[in-house]
Amino acid sequence: MSQGRQRIARVATRRQHTEPVSSPAKDASGPGLPVQLRKRSHSRATATAQITAEPQPFVTDPVSFKSVKQEASADGSEAVHVVSTEQPVKPPRARKRKQPEAQDQTSEAHASHVLAHTAAAADGKQPVTASSSPNTVCSPRRRTKASVNGKTEDTLLANAADMVQQAALSVAEPVSNPAKSPKQQKPRAKAVIKSETAAEPEATGAAVSAQQAEPTKNSATNADTSGKPRKQRKPKVVVKTETVVVKEDPETPDASAVALSDESPKKSKPRKPRAKKVLTVEQLLESVDVVPYRERVMPKKWVGAHVSMGGGLERAVVRAASIGANAFALDTKSKRQWESKPIEVDTADKFKQACKDYGFGPEHILPHGSYLINLASADPALLTKSYNAFVDELKRCEILGIRLYNFHPGSTCGKCPPEESMDRIAEQINKAHTETNSVIVVLENMAGAGGSVGHKFEYLHHIIDKVQDKARVGVCLDTCHLFAGGYDVASPETFEQVVAEFDEVVGLQYLKGMHVNDSKAALGSKRDRHENVAKGLIGKDCFSFLMNDDRFNGIPLIMETPVQCEGPHIDYKLSLLAGGPVYKGPSEAETGINTDKRDIAWLNSLSRD
Active site residue 371: yes
Minimal CA–CA distance to 460: which of 477, 479, 472, 484? 477
Residue 537 CB partners (closer than 8 Å, separation 6+):
483, 490, 518, 519, 520, 521, 522, 523, 531
Distant-in-sequence contacts of 168-173, Cβ < 8 A, 24+ apart: 168/103, 168/104, 168/107, 170/239, 171/100, 171/103, 171/239, 171/241, 172/241, 173/100
Helices (H) and strands (E) counted in the chain, each on its own, are 17, 20
- Cα distances (angstroms) measured from residue 422 to each of 310, 380, 388, 483: 34, 15, 18, 22
Rg (CA), the chain: 54
Minimal CA–CA distance to 554: which of 331, 329, 302, 380? 302
Active site residue 455: no
Active site residue 71: no
The β-bridge partners of 327 are 304
Query: Annotated catalytic residue: which of 393, 444, 571, 596?
Result: 444
Active site residue 481: yes
What gap in Å lies between CA 64 and CA 303, rounded to an integer? 113
Active site residue 478: yes
What gap in Å lies between CA 542 and CA 494, rounded to an integer? 9
Active site residue 408: yes
Query: Annotated catalytic residue: which of 42, 224, 242, 371?
Result: 371
Q: Are 506 and 459 in contact (CB under 8 A)?
A: no
Active site residue 560: yes
Active site residue 368: yes
Query: Annotated catalytic residue: which of 81, 455, 530, 598?
Result: 530
Query: Annotated catalytic residue: which of 110, 368, 396, 598?
Result: 368
Instruction: Please report, as a single letter, which amino acid is at residue 335.
Output: K
Active site residue 444: yes
Q: Which contiguous run of DSSP H or E holds residue 209?
A: helix 206-212
Q: Work out whether strand 327-329 and strand 302-306 pair parallel, antiparallel, or are unpaired.
A: parallel
Query: Annotated catalytic residue: which of 478, 518, 571, 599?
Result: 478
Instruction: Please report, as a single letter, which amino acid is at residue 485.
Output: G
Active site residue 336: yes
What gap in Å lies between CA 580 and CA 274, rounded to an integer? 31
Catalytic annotation, residues: 336, 368, 371, 408, 444, 478, 481, 515, 528, 530, 560
